[in-house]
Chains A and B, each alone.
Chain A
Amino acid sequence: MTNNKNQENSVENVLAKAVEGDLEAFSVLYKENVQRIYTYIYYRTGNKHDAEDLTARVFQRALGHIRKYEDKGIPFSAWLYRIAHNLVANWHRDHSRKKEISIDETPMELPGAEMPESSMIKNQEVGELLTNVRRLPADRQMLLILKFVDGLTNMEIAAIMGKSEGAIKSLYHRTLLQLRSRIEQDGKEEL
């Protein structure tokens, strides 16, 4: 309990220092969030090169506007996710002609993550999932990534996406149905 409180205080302190322009404090926030922002962008773009480019732009923009950041009790990552969301939306607008994105690049797994029986099968499954996720509307993609990759609760996702908890719950169920029907449809087409 005290540890949690201390941790919260230290996170708040780091954030407050970063807002005042302390670069060391911002570097702590960078280290804490770079992987989650990269993962989010990777799911949305489907390739390493653009994921790296957009991740770099997210943090450059965040550093440039950190003095304007207002702590409203929402996690700092929410602010970064919004920047990432906007940049990815612009990226999609610029690349709207390219409908299919290659997923031949092998994503690296987290150390300590569940190891698959066969990494090839796992990569293929992840690739198929990526393709199907990327066919969903942007807000649904964001919801799935926040839910399954970051393991956030509906309340936290609601804060990030600027919606009510109820709206997220309902959107989540609709998203699952849509994704499931797409996956089943793909399976039928393959047969």
Chain B
Amino acid sequence: MDKIAGNSSNKFENELKKKFIRFQPDENFVKKLSDKLFEQSSITLENSKKYLYNFFFVLFGLFSGYFLIRIIKSILKPKKQEAKNNHSKISQPGT
């Protein structure tokens, strides 16, 4: 009995093997999807590089501006100090 059931089950399996087929997607669809996937991604990668370049450019500008301000301050500070000292000497005639 089990043997008969086994044989018919194998027969059913073999029938299924013949019936299950692979579907071939449309060639145009495969090509279009490929173009869409890889063109978009390469544009994204190029754009991200461009953004990175711009980001570093702005960062460089900020740093150089900061250092320039510090340098200018350090040059002007001793002069200011000197002027202050001179002013205090004049305002204390008794000493």
Contact = CB atoms under 8 A, between A and B. Distances in A.
B51 to A, nearest CB: 16
Interface string B53-86: 0000000000000000000000000000000000
Interface residues of A, number: 38
A59 B40 CA distance: 13
Contacts of A43: 23
A48 B28 CA distance: 13
A25 B18 CA distance: 34
Contacts of B34: 27, 30-31
Nearest to B36: A56
Interface string A65-90: 00000000000000000000000000
A55 B42 CA distance: 20
Interface string B14-40: 001111111111100110011011100
A120 interface: no
Interface in B1-22: 9, 12-13, 16-22
Contacts of B18: 114
Given A126-B21, A129-B20, A34 B37 contact: no
B17 A108 contact: no
Given A109-B22, A113-B21, 9 more contacts: A23-B41, A27-B34, A27-B37, A34-B30, A52-B25, A60-B37, A125-B19, A126-B19, A144-B20
Interface of B: 9, 12-13, 16-26, 29-30, 33-34, 36-38, 41-42, 45
23 contacts: A27-B34, A35-B24, A35-B25, A36-B22, A38-B23, A39-B23, A43-B23, A52-B26, A52-B29, A55-B33, A59-B37, A107-B21, A108-B23, A110-B21, A110-B24, A113-B21, A113-B22, A114-B18, A126-B19, A129-B20, A148-B17, A148-B20, A149-B22
